[in-house]
Every structure is written in structure tokens, then in C-alpha cells.
Structure 1
């Protein structure tokens, strides 16, 4: 006998099971940064890259514990931004909501562009805009039909990534324990520590790896956005968040150990995927095509999650404006399928701008800059989330016997300080300076406009 589906007050359905949420959490933790970008970070820092992943992994774990604690106190919320509105006020909340949503739209656009690139590996003659329209149409439809279908799609997307990583780790362990001979030498753990230095290419390259790995982890918070539509949300959030660090250690650190055990780190370059190199050295001729399929599903997974998240965030924004406004009347609605259909359609429609980027290099250049700005804005959003958590701790909503963030008095200020240091480090990396400056300009201009808008609304209400 099927259990009755629980319906939230706003009409959304709690249909995501524990297995959906756990796999969405894994999908959010593992991105194309591991499959394609790890070669770049290893070439910059050598074996010290594991220390970079470990440090960032710990701080992201603490951020997720902060988010998890707030959701545990009120699992009816659809986005963590709603807690920023509640504890830091409508000005900061609305600014963060719009900033995060715009960032999501650009992430969607970037992932859609990537899917076309990966498909053209096999079908180079198909125009990229056709591939983009097909993928966007399919995944937007998946999100419109039901949250459960989204969860099912993410489950299988994440499964493909896990199988690829586990297969590489098992292959690597076999090669290292059997001391397999490759054109680059013997596969062995000794390769990791051979000629080891903490800063093989200087302190600057080591520091510049931190923002690169930070952006590889970006999206790890997506799992929290599923809580509003998950069965047994308090049980699910504790499990999903607590296993974040384990997943990072297992999939990232485990994969890096295997990669550097088989390929001497001095032989790795930023131009090719370490996964492809490992499988080729293991005698797997279809390595490049297989990893291309994996990163294609990874991009499709990210696009699927982005559409889901963007729809919920725009719906949240619509619920926070006056009820007589066109935005509230149009987008603060839940369809009969239990999803914010209008908000999803609007967000997906904006992503249709992506095919235009192939028409001129000027648009592509602007897109690259804007994507950089929106990525850097995530650091500000994450920091505001941590500040909101501190306000939550001081509020009457605080549950002393809830899902408590460990060592709060130390880990909370340290996490905020660390995010601040990451943002400051962007100014010392030439390719990140424009994005960092753009993020500050966006904050000052849009934040200022939002402040005056809210002040005008307040004064109008007082006069009435």
C-alpha cells in the first residue's frame, strides 16, 4: 500500500525520498571540476592539492551544518535565502535572493553551453543551439512534471558519476598494489611523495588553487533546497549534511591519491582530464569517450539542479513582494503538479539566451565576465548565510536540542573569516580580478537600490 503524499501549505508536495536527497547531495558535491579541472589544480600545487581540498572541505561542511541547523528548526522553507530574509531583514534577504537567482541563471547557461560542447565530441556537425534547445526542453519538462521526477533524474545522473569515480579508484588501487608498469613509470603511492615539496611552484600557485577548488565545490548547498519537498525532512537533512565531509574525503581525496599514484604529479597538465589519462594507462582505449559521457551527464545533472533551484528561488522572491504586485500574482503560484511552474518556466526561458552566444564572440566575452562576477557573488551569499545563522542562534527560534553546528563559537567566525580570505585572494589572481571587482560593484549598486526601495515601501506603509 502506497503511503499518502504529504502536501505543504503552499501546495508543494513532499515526494523526495531519502535516496533521492542523498544522491542529490552527492551530485552537488561532485562536479566537472573533479573530472576535468583537477589536472589544473594538481599541476599548480602538486600533492599539496589534497590539503587544499581538505581545508575547503572542512569549511564547506561547517557551512552546511549551519544551513542544516536552520532548516532543522523550520523544514517548511524552500531555500536557505529565506533564513537570510528572516534574520538579516528584507533588504539583505531580497538582495541575496536576486543575486543568488541571477547567479543560478548564469550557471544554467554555462552548463547548457557545456552540454553542447560534450555532445559535439560525437556529433561535431550538429549546431550547438539545437543541442542546447533539446537539453533545456527535456530538463525543464522534467522539473515541470513533478519534484519526484526531478529527484529520479538526479539519482541516476549522480549514480553515473559515482560509478566512474569508484571504477577509477578500484582500477588505481589494483594498478598500485600490483605495481603496474606504465609509460610514465611504476604505479605506486611513492609517486605522491617523490620529490615532495609543499609549494612546488611557489606560494602564489598554492594560494591561487583555493579559489579554483572553492568554485569546484560551488553548488554543494543545492541539497538544502530539496528539504522543503522531502519526506521526513529532519531525518533527511541530518543524514545528507553529516555525510558531506565523508563524501568529499572519499570521492575527492580518494580520487586524487589514485591519480597521483599512477601518474607522477609532475607529468599532469591542465590541458587533459586526469581520469582519461588513468584509464588510458590502464589499457582502456575508450577512456576519452567514456569520460566525455560522464562529464556530459554531470553537466546535465548540474543544469537539472539549477533549473530546480532557480525555480524555487524565484518563487521565494515572488512570495516576498506585495500581494497586489504583478510578480506575486504571476509567479507566487504552485501548479497542480506541486511545483512552482511559472517560476520554473520564467527561469528556463532566460536560459534560452544561451544559443545567442554562438552568434558572436563579443557576447561570449561578456558572458565569461558576467559568469565570473556571479561566481564571485556566491562567496558573498555564503558569508551572509553564515551571518544569518549567527542571528538565528541569538533568536527565539534557536533549538538547543536541534541539529547543532559543532563547536559553533569557533567554527562560525572561522568560516566567515575564511570566506572573506578567499574573496580577498581573488584580487591577487589576474584572471579573477574583474569578477571580484564586479561582485563589489554589484553589491554596492544593487544593494543600495534595494535599500532605498525597501525604505520607500516602509515610509508608504507608515503614511497609510
Structure 2
């Protein structure tokens, strides 16, 4: 989902997801129309299109509160990184601030963890793409489709990356139009007093706002199902930090950054809350299957026989766009890390092709992404479960760790001399930042209670412990050498 990196690939000295390699000033080439629409679409995850049915079935109309809670904490999180970027837009990303305020070891850990997040995003999106294509090619093995699509997108990433901004702009339009069409349909049906025969219950149903309020319970399936829904909602919102980094890549970041971040609550209300209210006003939440997209149900209801194919196309383009740009970003992250932390292993990843593509880094990321077809072959094994759920859980876990480090970084920033009273200040930070930390910790702990997310959660803890032990060992060796 790293869309803001789109126009920067031609220059190997550019800032890649916050890691400046050789020049402190990266090119700022995205046009305003790219920024605006990509920022809007950046708040819309594919989880909304396919995962809304599952989250609604878990907790009913109170799913609105789950989206509001996560929306609020993500907005606060974005305000914190926005405040730091506003003070020093040359850093381009929050990752550099972790190094600045928590130390180089914390920064080193966060940079590699963030790169690993991007690799897992590649795996998750490739798995999703294979699943969507299998809708039209059901007899073709999922792992084979994934390999073919990876080869295709790998080949595209070997070319010059200048077309990324324009490509992502049009991909963004597809998602936005699909959600607006859903909301517009619900409004027409609502005011038209529309009635229909429910395919699930085979009873007479009516489009009405009372479908949302009738028999309302805050936790209809228990509080743990509500907490479990927070995990899924969180996955839909991850990568929203790219909006802040996108704004930081414009010609006037101190003007664009506050506007881009402050518009996020309105976008959440329209695209997430609006879409969910539209769905639940058409269908009583008890009648929405967990394994079916409500978007398909709505468009089928109004007579679009190819509704399933339409929504499948929307999510396919969304996943394809995400995989393409995340391959791009993960490759540049690998290149930047190799340049920032040279060693015998990493030095080979600084090689750049004639198209200014870090070709060895691209090969490395591509090979790691091949883990997706391996997961698909292993899918169904008890400790793996669903391949997409496994990969997306790994993504959410590592995102939460990096996000938490960023919030602690922000608290250090507020006590530093860099803080500006006339800056883009986070409101009520003494209350809202600890609240955001609490919610992130709660979501992370809840991952251990679900069989499909338990193993990735344990893996994230092991990764953190091993990496921290490695850094502590290096620090002790360095201290011992200094004494000698």
C-alpha cells in the first residue's frame, strides 16, 4: 500500500519510506490530484469489501463502534507522526524519528521490522490476488496463479517506476467509486421504501434504518467477539501512515500535511461508517453471512447479475495495486537499509540496474514473497489455517510493534527542544496518546486468544526478543571494546 513512493524510483538517492540513503532531500514529484485521491483510497482497505460480512456477523451493529475506536486511535497516531514531520519534513517518515529520539538500536529494529512488515504485506496481497483470480479460474491451483502473478508484477518492477503515480491514481478511483455506488444505492432504496424477499430466510424484508436499531445489543455475541473484531478492523486501517508520508513528499509539506491528516476522520465516516450503515440498513445483520461480501449482496439485490464479478474485479485491482506498490516500497527499503547499515550480507543489495532499480533487493523481496504459494500449499494445516489470515496476522502484529515504538518516540519528542508550540500539535496528547497505546496493546494481546492469529503473535514476540538480544549483545561488545 506504499503509494506515496510511486514517483520516486528513478533516483537512487531518494527517501524510501523514511530511510534517506545519501541525499537528505528527496524528490517531491507527486501532483496534487495524485496526493488527494491516493490519500482518500489509502484509508480504504480490501478488508472492507470482503471482511465486512465477517465483522458484522461477529458483533452486529456495534461494529460501528469498533471502526470508530480504531479510527480515532489511528487518527491520533497519524497526528503524532504528522506533528513530528511538520517540525522536520526533511525526515520524510516516522522511522527516522525513532532513531533520533529512542536511539540507533531502536531505530535499527524498527527499520528492519517495518521492512519485514512490507514483505508480509506482499505475501498477504499475493495470496489475496490468487484467491480473487481463482473466482474466474476455479480449477487452476492457487499456488500456480500466485507464481504467475508474482512473475508478472516482478517484471513490471524491473522497469522505470515513473508511471506508478498515474497507475495508483486510477486504481484508487475504482475503490472510491465502488463505495460511493454502494452508499448511493442504499440511500435510493431507503427513500424508495424498497422491499424484497430475503435469500437467506426466504421471508419478506424491508430496507429501513430500523434494521440497525431493532433488538440492538452492544455485545450480541459476547465482549470477546467485539475485541476480536478490533483485530480485523485494525488490519483494514494499517498502512494509513502512508498518508502522512505522502503529504511529506509534496512541494509544501507544512501546508499539505495538516490538511491531509485532518481530512481522515471525514473519510472514515464516509467510506467506512457510511458503507457499514448502508449495508445494515438494507440487510438485518443476522442475515449477513460471514463468508460472503455484503457488497456483492447489495449489488445483486438491485439486479446486477454480475455483481460478484464486479466486486471481485474491484478487490483484485486493489490487491494488485497494493502488491505492485508494496514490492516497490519493500525493494527500496531493502536498498536503503543496505546503504545505511553496510555489511557483507547487505552490501550486495545496493546494486542498481540501468533503470535505477535496486535489482538485487528486488530479487530478494521477490524470493521471500514466494512464501505465499508455499503457504497456500500448506493452507488447512492446523497451525497455518487460512493462508491469507496467517500472513495478514503477521502484518498486523509487526505493525502494532512499530506503531507502539512510534508513540513512545512521540512522547520523547514532546519533551525535547525540537517541540514547537506553533506546530501541528496533537490535541490532548497526555490523555489520547496513552489511550492509543492502551488500545494497541489490547489488540496485540487479543491476538493470542485466537487460534488463527496466535502463532503469528508468538512469532512477533520471538522476532522482537531475538532482535533485541542481538542488539544488546552488540552493545555489550561495543562497550567492552571501548573499555579495552
1:49-85 deviations in Å (ceiling 9; x for gaps):
1111011101100001111112222223354222112
> Residues 424-458 of structure 1, C-alpha deviation per residue, up to 9 Å, x if partnerless?
23333343333333322221122211222244346
1:201-254 CA-to-partner distances (Å, cap 9, x unmatched) read: 222222221122112212212233445643333333222211121111110000
Q: Distance in 1 between matches of 2:162 and 2:44?
A: 21
Q: Distance in 1 between matches of 2:233 and 2:379?
A: 28
Aligned residue for 1:62? 76
Task: After superposing the two structures, state which structure 1 stretch, 222-231 or 359-368, moved more.
Answer: 359-368
1:448 matched to 2:472? The reply is no
CA contact (8 A) 2:339 2:347 kept: no
Q: Give the Å deviation of 1:294.
A: 0.7
1:411-436: CA deviations, max 9, x gaps? 12221122112222333334333333
Measure, in 1, the Cα distance between the counterparts of 2:460 and 2:314.
32
- Alignment partners' CA distance in 1, 2:225 and 2:412: 36
In 2, the alpha carbon distance for the partners of 1:170 and 1:155 equals 22
1:103 corresponds to: 117
Alignment counterpart, residue 441 of structure 2, candidates 420, 426, 440: 420
Aligned to 1:153: 167
Pick closer, same or farther for the CA change 1:283–1:150 going to 2, 3 Å: same
Alignment match, 2:408: 387
How far apart in 2 are the matches of 1:90 and 1:327?
Answer: 20
Separation of aligned partners in 2, 1:359 and 1:425: 28
Q: CA deviation at 1:302?
A: 1.8
For residue 409 of structure 1, the aligned residue among 430, 451, 460 is 430
Are the counterparts in 1 of residues 383 and 455 from structure 2 also a CA contact under 8 Å?
Answer: no
Q: Judging changes above 3 Å, is the alpha-carbon distance between structure 1 residues 74 and 342 closer, same or farther for their aligned structure 2 residues? A: farther
- Structure-1 separation of matches of 2:222 and 2:345: 52
Matches within 5 A, 1:249-268: 249-268=269-288
Paired residues of 1:16 and 1:147 also in contact (CA < 8 A): no
1:377 corresponds to which of 393, 398, 401: 398
- Which residue number corresponds to residue 233 of structure 1? 253
Residue pair 1:75, 1:233 contacting (<8 A) in 2 also: yes
Q: 1:179 to 1:361 in 2, by over 3 A?
A: closer
CA distance in 2, matches of 1:57, 1:139: 32
Contact 2:58 2:225 in 1 (8 A): yes
CA distance in 1, matches of 2:110, 2:331: 15
CA contact (8 A) 2:234 2:396 kept: no
Stretches of structure 1 that go unaligned for 5 or more consecutive residues are: none
CA shift, 1:303, in A, is 1.1
Distance across 2 between alignment mates of 1:365 and 1:439: 15
- What is the Cα deviation at residue 37 of structure 1? 0.5
Residue 189 of structure 2 corresponds to which residue in structure 1?
175
Partner Cα distance (1:245, 1:133) in 2: 38
Equivalent residues of 1:21, 1:236 under 8 A apart: no
Alpha carbons of structure 1 residues 336 and 242: separation in structure 2 relative to 1, 3 Å: farther
Q: Deviation of residue 279 (structure 1)?
A: 0.9
> Counterparts in 2 of 1:141-290, with a 5 A limit?
142-143=156-157, 145-146=159-160, 148-184=162-198, 185-227=205-247, 229-290=249-310
Kindly indicate whether the alpha-carbon contact (under 8 Å) linking 1:143 and 1:308 is maintained by their aligned counterparts in 2: yes
| 1:131-167 C-alpha deviation (Å, 9 max, x unpaired) | 4345334544555545542222221111100010001
Check 1:168–1:38 CA distance in 2 against 1; reply closer, same or farther (3 A cut).
Answer: same
Secondary structure of residue in 2 paired with 1:296: helix
Give the 3-state SS of the residue equivalent to 2:261 in structure 1: helix
Measure, in 1, the Cα distance between the counterparts of 2:410 and 2:263.
20
Closer/same/farther in 2, CA of residues 428 and 349 from structure 1, 3 Å limit? closer
Q: How many residue pairs are counted as aligned between the two chains? A: 457
1:30-109 alignment, distance < 5 Å: 30-109=44-123
TM-score (norm 2): 0.86
Q: Which moved more, 1:297-306 or 1:53-62?
A: 297-306
- TM-superposed CA distance for 1:197, in Å, is 1.6
What are the ranges of 5 or more consecutive residues in structure 2 without an aligned counterpart?
1-9, 15-22, 199-204
Conserved? CA contact 2:42–2:242, under 8 Å: yes
> Secondary structure in 1 aligned to 2:89?
coil
Q: For 1:126 and 1:430, locate their aligned partners in 2 and report how far apart those are by CA, in whole Å.
A: 29
Q: Is the 8 A contact 2:120 2:394 kept in 1?
A: no
Distance 2:167 2:401 in 1: 30
